[in-house]
Chains A and B, each alone.
Chain A
Amino acid sequence: MSCKDASRLISQMQDANLPFAQRLRVRLHLLFCHACTRFERQVRFLRRAMQRYSR
Chain B
Amino acid sequence: MTDADPDFSAQIHSHRTYLLRVAVLQLRNDELAEDVVQDTLLAALQGKAGFSGRSTLKTWLTGILKHKIVDAIRKKGREPVTSSFDEECQIDDFDALFDASGHWDNPPADWGDPEVQLSRQQFFDVVEFCLDKLPPNTARVFMMREVMELDGPEICKELSLTSTNLWVILYRARVALRLCLEQHWFAAAARSG
A residues near B (Cβ < 8 Å) are: 2-5, 7-8, 11-12, 14-16, 34-36, 38-39, 41-43, 45-55
Main secondary structure of the interface of A (DSSP, over half): helix
Do A16 and B56 have beta carbons less than 8 Å apart?
A: no
Do A38 and B167 have beta carbons less than 8 Å apart?
A: no
Q: Can you offer 26 A-B residue contacts whose CB atoms are under 8 A? A: A2-B101, A4-B97, A8-B171, A11-B170, A11-B171, A11-B175, A12-B167, A12-B171, A14-B170, A15-B151, A15-B152, A15-B167, A16-B167, A38-B110, A42-B108, A42-B178, A43-B178, A45-B114, A45-B115, A47-B146, A48-B115, A50-B127, A50-B146, A53-B127, A54-B58, A54-B62
Q: Which 4 A-B pairs have the closest CB atoms?
A: A2-B102, A35-B107, A50-B146, A4-B102
Total interface residues on B, CB under 8 Å, equals 41
- CB neighbours of B152 from chain A (8 A): 15-16
**Known contacts A2-B98, A38-B110, A43-B178; A52 and B118 CB within 8 A of each other:** yes
Do A42 and B101 have beta carbons less than 8 Å apart?
A: no
Do B98 and A45 have beta carbons less than 8 Å apart?
A: no
Question: CA separation between A54 and B44, bound complex, in Å?
Answer: 16
A40 shortest CB reach to chain B, Å = 9
- CB neighbours of B167 from chain A (8 A): 8, 11-12, 15-16
B10 shortest CB reach to chain A, Å = 20
Do B170 and A39 have beta carbons less than 8 Å apart?
A: no
Query: B103 at interface (Cβ–Cβ under 8 A)?
Result: yes
- CB-based nearest B residue for A52: B118
Other than the given A12-B170, A39-B178, 8 more pairs (CB < 8 A) read: A7-B175, A15-B145, A16-B167, A35-B108, A38-B110, A42-B111, A42-B114, A53-B127
- CB neighbours of A12 from chain B (8 A): 167, 170-171
B6 shortest CB reach to chain A, Å = 24
Partner of B109, one of A5, A38, A50: A38
- CB neighbours of A16 from chain B (8 A): 152, 163, 167
Question: CA separation between A55 and B18, bound complex, in Å?
Answer: 11
- CB neighbours of B117 from chain A (8 A): 49
From residue 30 to 71 of chain B, which have CB atoms closer than 8 A to chain A?
55-56, 58-59, 62
- CB-based nearest A residue for B177: A46
